[in-house]
């Protein structure tokens, strides 16, 4: 998609559609009416507002109204897009609305769009959200469709002109907002592709190769460790999970190291993603319904990869490391068994009481390895437990960690990024459920507090590292079309990680006054 800026009267611009995002009062209150709406209505001799009234369009969030302009304005069509009240507005409102709009416009074969931007408190951030909403909303996963070719070949929205409100002028900051929005959206759409790809064609080997191609393109360092090296690293839990599959495991380590020497010496951010390319449950086999979506059990690693792609472009003044241990969880004559005891990289021993609790085993070894970098903060993203989905539903990730500063920095980044993350406790009260009679601990406890139990298990492997665990089992997938999401992979986590890196960059470049003390 091509984005450009314009100024002046948006109703004069030639395009297939004029999109007017509107706060409720800009529709209902004549004194507050948006200039573009007033202008278009005047040219249409009052028909626009009259139709809006009869159709019940009041600028509420999720409302929209499409109207043919019959040659009375520059654009062929006018689309009014509700944003709801100014009081409840944030940039995510705009991102969702843009996503909805681009889907509808695509269905009506619209190729060029003019947007009459509303007056916003932060125009830059709003423009970025709008760009992201357009690009994310236009995403489709149709790689394996050979029928409805016509649908595939249908024209897509190709150009978007953003008309600035009032006498605002195009600035460097606005150009950068568009550029960042496009990068973040492209990386998120790529992460969605990785997750939506069937497990048969997104094996650990292919996932690692995708990481390599991205790293080479983005200028990141990458190491891909084979099984022998994983053995040398004594990752007994990772190897235990991997052994049931004929697909070899891969330990992937990506590095962004700043060119500046002082910057390169700063404590890094480490991110770790769960990368089970298919989770059958192993010998504790999942029933069909539970297994159906388990190609998506590498969504954490996909988000990590998407974020690294953007981080390479941002070039922050500190190193960022990303890790994932990719493997399949399969039942076979060589699979790890119930009752087996695995020896982790840290030497702690684990009795296997459920082979379907495999994510924590791989993550435990990889988190211990990542912690060796002594990061300022370590964040993992994992489709770890069904229990977290039971607790928080389809749209919210759970955040776990004892370090309040680290937890708040992730929660704040998520909020700014428009991703919903809520903190859950890692309570020691649940510790007993991981007690084993034969080893240091077991890998799965009781059903109750399942998401907490998984986080407690991970905590055993991070030592004193400031660490935040994000259980993204719910929001990694969207069960329906919603805003800029379609059904399937969402790319959840890319924006939060990018924001976390941007915020630390800002802190380093402009330290708060008390930080100097």
Tokens of 480: 């329906």
Residue nearest to Zn ion (CB): 279
Tokens of 377: 């903060």
**Residues in the site for Mn ion, rule: CB under 5 A?**
279, 356, 358
295 is an active site residue:
no
DSSP designation for 426: -
Q: How far is the CB of 154 from Zn ion (least distance, A)?
A: 37
Residue nearest to Mn ion (CB): 356
Cβ neighbours of residue 485 under 8 Å, at least 6 residues apart? 99, 136, 478
Pick from 95, 112, 99, 97: which is nearest to 155 by CA? 112
Q: 406 vs 454, which CB is nearer to Zn ion?
A: 454
Q: How far is the CB of 7 from ligand BES (least distance, A)?
A: 47
Pick from 441, 413, 431: which is nearest to 501 by CA? 413
286 is an active site residue:
yes
Q: How far is the CB of 239 from Zn ion (least distance, A)?
A: 17
Q: 59 vs 398, which CB is nearer to Mn ion?
A: 398
- The span from the CA of 224 to the CA of 205, in Å, is 10
Q: How far is the CB of 444 from ligand BES (least distance, A)?
A: 4
- How many CB atoms are closer than 10 A to CB 125? 18
H or E, element range at 490: none
**Residues in the site for Zn ion, rule: CB under 5 A?**
276, 279, 297, 359
Pick from 296, 467, 455: which is nearest to 391 by CA? 455
330 contact, one of Mn ion, ligand BES, Zn ion, none, CB 5-8 Å limit per kind:
none
DSSP designation for 40: H
- The span from the CA of 294 to the CA of 362, in Å, is 16
Burial of 516 (0-12, 13-18, 19+ CB in 10 A): exposed
Q: 177 vs 389, which CB is nearer to ligand BES?
A: 389
Q: How far is the CB of 112 from ligand BES (least distance, A)?
A: 40
Pick from 341, 407, 2: which is nearest to 179 by CA? 2
473 contact, one of Mn ion, Zn ion, ligand BES, none, CB 5-8 Å limit per kind:
ligand BES
Annotated catalytic residue, options 58, 72, 243, 286: 286
Q: 356 vs 419, which CB is nearer to Mn ion?
A: 356
Q: How far is the CB of 329 from ligand BES (least distance, A)?
A: 7
Q: 205 vs 354, which CB is nearer to Mn ion?
A: 354
Q: How far is the CB of 358 from Zn ion (least distance, A)?
A: 6
The answer to whether 184 touches 494, Cβ cutoff 8 Å, is yes
Cβ neighbours of residue 414 under 8 Å, at least 6 residues apart? 397, 399, 420, 421, 496, 499
Annotated catalytic residue, options 95, 309, 360, 502: 360
Three-state DSSP state, 320 = strand
Burial of 386 (0-12, 13-18, 19+ CB in 10 A): middle
Q: 279 vs 351, which CB is nearer to ligand BES?
A: 279
Give how far Cα 92 sits from Cα of 129, 167, 186, 415, 490, Å.
7, 25, 17, 9, 15
**Residues in the site for ligand BES, rule: CB under 6 A?**
279, 297, 354, 356-359, 383-387, 389, 444, 450, 473
Q: 264 vs 338, which CB is nearer to ligand BES?
A: 338
Annotated active-site positions, please? 286, 360
């Amino acid at each position: 998609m091509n984005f450009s800026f314009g100024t002046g009267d948006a109703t004069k611009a030639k395009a297939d559609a004029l999109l007017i995002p509107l706060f409720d009062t800009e529709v209902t209150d004549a004194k507050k009416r948006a200039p573009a709406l007033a202008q278009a209505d005047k040219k249409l001799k009052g028909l626009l507002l009259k139709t809006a009234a009869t159709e019940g369009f009041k600028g509420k969030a999720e409302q929209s109204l499409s109207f043919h302009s019959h040659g009375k304005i520059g654009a062929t069509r006018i689309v009014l897009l509700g944003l709801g009240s100014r009081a409840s507005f944030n940039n995510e409102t705009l991102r969702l609305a843009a996503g909805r709009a681009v889907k509808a416009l695509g269905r009506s074969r619209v190729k060029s769009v003019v947007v009459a931007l509303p007056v916003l408190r932060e125009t830059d951030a709003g423009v970025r959200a709008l760009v992201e909403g357009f690009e994310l909303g236009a995403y489709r996963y149709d790689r394996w469709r050979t029928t409805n070719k016509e649908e595939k070949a249908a024209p897509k929205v190709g150009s978007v002109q953003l008309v600035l409100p009032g006498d605002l002028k195009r600035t460097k900051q606005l150009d950068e907002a568009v550029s960042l929005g496009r990068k973040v959206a492209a990386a998120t759409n790529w992460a969605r592709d990785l997750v939506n790809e069937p497990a048969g064609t997104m094996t650990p080997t292919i996932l690692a190769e995708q990481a390599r191609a991205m790293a080479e393109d983005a200028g990141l360092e990458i190491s891909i460790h084979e099984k022998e090296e994983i053995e040398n690293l004594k990752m007994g839990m990772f190897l235990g999970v991997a052994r049931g599959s004929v697909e070899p495991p891969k330990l992937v380590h990506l590095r962004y190291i700043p060119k500046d020497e002082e910057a390169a010496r700063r404590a890094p951010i480490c991110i770790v993603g769960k990368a089970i390319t298919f989770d059958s449950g192993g010998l504790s086999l999942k029933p069909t319904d539970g297994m159906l979506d388990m190609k998506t059990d590498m969504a954490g690693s996909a988000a990590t990869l998407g974020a690294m792609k953007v981080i390479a472009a941002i070039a922050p003044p500190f190193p960022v490391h990303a890790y994932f241990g990719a493997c399949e969880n399969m039942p076979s004559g060589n699979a790890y068994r119930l009752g087996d005891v695995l020896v982790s990289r840290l030497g702690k021993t684990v009795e296997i009481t459920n082979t379907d609790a495999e994510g924590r085993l791989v993550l435990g070894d990889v988190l211990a390895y990542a912690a060796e970098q002594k990061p300022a903060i370590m964040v993992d993203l994992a489709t770890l437990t069904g229990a977290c989905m039971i607790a928080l539903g389809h749209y919210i990730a759970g955040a776990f960690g004892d370090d309040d500063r680290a937890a708040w920095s992730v929660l704040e980044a998520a909020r700014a990024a428009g991703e919903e993350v809520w903190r859950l406790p890692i309570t020691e009260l649940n510790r007993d459920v991981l007690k084993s009679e034969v080893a240091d601990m077991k890998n799965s406890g009781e059903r109750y507090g399942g998401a907490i139990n998984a986080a407690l298990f991970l905590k055993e492997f991070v030592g004193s590292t400031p660490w935040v665990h994000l259980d993204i089992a719910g929001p990694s997938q969207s069960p329906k079309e919603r805003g800029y999401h379609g059904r399937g992979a969402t790319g959840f986590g890319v924006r939060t990680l990018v924001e976390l890196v941007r915020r630390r960059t800002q802190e380093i470049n402009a330290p708060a006054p008390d930080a100097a003390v």
